[in-house]
Structure 1
Amino acid sequence: MTTTRRTGAAQPAGLRERKRRETHRLLAATALRLVAERGLDRVTVEDISGSAGVSPRTFFNYFASKEDALLLPYPDHAERSALSVARVVSAPPSLSPLQAVVRAWREDLECIDADREEWVTRLTVMTDHVSLLSRLIALEADDERRMIEALTRRTGLPPEDPYPALVYCVAEGAVRSCLAHWHRIGGARSVVRLVEEAVDAVAEGLPVPD
């Protein structure tokens, strides 16, 4: 009896979670499509929710704004961030701090490769609407702080040492540079491979390419 009740309770919870994730992705995809077609200023939350077949109230259960719907396409953002932090701390000692950070982000980069057309469009929208960049920086502030704290733990350095923040900024800069290049070439190459090549170049002292 106990096992049956637990199974019965778990199944609806699993279905609800799947529905929640599907609705999140639907709203994010709808926001991206409409903004790509019309421009950010010509799209409202009502437009997005109506096109997705939900109410504005439902939209706000998932996102604080239309900007967030564009910048947070995956429903498990918080879990991904926490996992990346844990991966930095637990990465093999043979990896440099920079390599540990990039490896921690690999799964996110693989999602970009897998959803290539969606991300090419998203980066086009972000390029066309600079105001989104300031919102992205705000959204990533906590992730940045936690990652720097993880690097501090990994290296054993005192909290006031600037090295962990430097490593984070180099890793973030490498990823942003590679994403910009990836966008310019229409996603023709793997962004994972581009980032790996960038990290190798940094490790070699950034020699001028042949």
Structure 2
Amino acid sequence: MRISELSRRSGVPTATIKYYLREGLLPPGRATAATQAEYDETHLRRLRLVRALIGLRGLSVSATKEILGAAAAHGGERHQVLGLVVGARPADEDAPPPAPAPGAAEVDALIDGLGWEVSAHAPARAVLGETLETLRSLGEEVSADALRGYAALAERTAALDLDQLDPDADPLDQAESALLRTILFEPALLALRRLAQENESARRNT
């Protein structure tokens, strides 16, 4: 397809596509003339993922390029690609682990007790630890049993998330779908929680 068709099908302006090509976010097309090239479905999938990383995750062009490069270095292995795209894993796994954040020991113990395989670099470790510490500083303690209960719910949610992905799809298609579902569906998960809380409160009031 020509670049105009690539733009039409992806919803990305031609000028933006040319910019992504210059920055190396998209591989060059097959040259058909001095100033013309043909593009294929691989370019379309890559472009959609680039748009999601920049538009939804809010990454810079350089950070997006780094993530895509790291994903390519893993040979398209699904676990690595999904982790990189949704922000569960950093692009540079060889970098030293970050300094322990508040609550890090508690989070480490939880993950080890659950038997979860989670990167030492996972940003969510710090988020969880800092949240628990903030709650504690405000006089709200989350018991170990309650935390394990929330973790069990999260585990079931993660299984549902991955069950929605087409196992036969291209890794880039899977990555885009996972990113869209992770970011766009999170408000729906919060809404469901609020609805369930109201229902549970009403049930206990009867």
Larger helix percent: 1
TM-score normalised over the length of structure 2:
0.32
The structure with the larger Rg is: 2
